[in-house]
Amino acid sequence: MDKNWKTTLAGVIPGVMVFLYDFMRGLQAGQEFDVKTMVLGLSLAVLGYFAKSKEVTGGTVASTPEAAARVKKQNNEAQPPQ
């Protein structure tokens, strides 16, 4: 798997923390679960998991061997013959 772990952690950790904070608060006596906050936390975690980092969105920085071949081919086609 060639996923950028920094972006994933930057979204998943805060999202899970928001969810767990509200879940634990809801478990305390007399407290109710705030469904909106829990959904927000889970949404943030999912967004962080599926988000791409700036350096792996394509273009001239390849994150897989196939992408490296594509970038090399595009660079060769873009240069005029000498």
Distance of CA 25 to the CA centre of its chain: 27
The three-class DSSP label of residue 67 is: helix
Helix H or strand E segment including 54: none
pLDDT-based confidence at residue 1 (cuts at 50, 70, 90): very low
Q: Where are the domains of the chain?
A: 1-51, 57-82
Q: Which of 13, 36, 38, 8 is nearest to 23 (CA)?
A: 38
Q: Is-above-0.75 flag for pTM?
A: no
Q: What percent of the chain has pLDDT over 90?
A: 1
